[in-house]
């Protein structure tokens, strides 16, 4: 390795290109018409390695997006239906055991008597 080749890779390439540019015996000069055609073709070509401006969305992502939107819409509909119906009390308001009992009279013959057992 030469002592002038040390440093960053970009600097080494620049120095090598600089030495090549001053070497007249390396290649014959390129006609200006060819250089112009190559430059025009490069300007007209789409960028080969550029990132896409809009990323490509796959089929599974679209299906997942549709399912997610559907689930969110179903949640909203269910919530609206629950809150739009009249509120029901937590306990029934109809007849309960408290209201269905009959008063016990002392004359009822089928009421069992208390059993007293001696100690």
Interacting residues of 104 by C-beta distance below 8 A, sequence separation 6+: 111
Q: What is the pLDDT of residues 94-112, one digit of tens each?
A: 666 665 666 666 655 666 6
Query: Regarding predicted confidence, which is higher, 100 or 46?
Result: 46
Query: Regarding predicted confidence, which is higher, 76 or 28?
Result: 76
Confidence check: pLDDT of 4 > 80: no
Query: Regarding predicted confidence, which is higher, 22 or 81?
Result: 81
Torsion sign, CA atoms 84, 89, 91, 96 = negative
Please report the DSSP string for 102-114 in residue order. Answer: PPPPTT-TTSPPP
Determine the pLDDT at residue 16. Answer: 83
Q: Return the residue matching tokens 């509120």.
A: 87
Confidence check: pLDDT of 82 > 80: yes
């Amino acid at each position: 390795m030469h002592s002038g080749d040390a440093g960053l890779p970009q600097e080494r390439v620049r120095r090598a290109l600089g030495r090549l540019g001053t070497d007249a015996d390396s290649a014959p000069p390129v006609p200006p018409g060819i250089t112009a055609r190559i430059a025009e073709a490069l300007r007209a070509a789409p960028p080969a390695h550029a990132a896409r401006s809009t990323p490509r969305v796959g089929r599974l992502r679209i299906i997942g997006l549709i399912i997610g939107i559907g689930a969110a819409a179903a949640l909203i509909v269910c919530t609206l239906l629950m809150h739009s119906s009249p509120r029901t009390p937590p306990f029934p308001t109809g007849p309960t055991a408290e209201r269905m009992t009959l008063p016990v009279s002392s004359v009822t013959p089928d009421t069992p008597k208390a059993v007293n057992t001696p100690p």
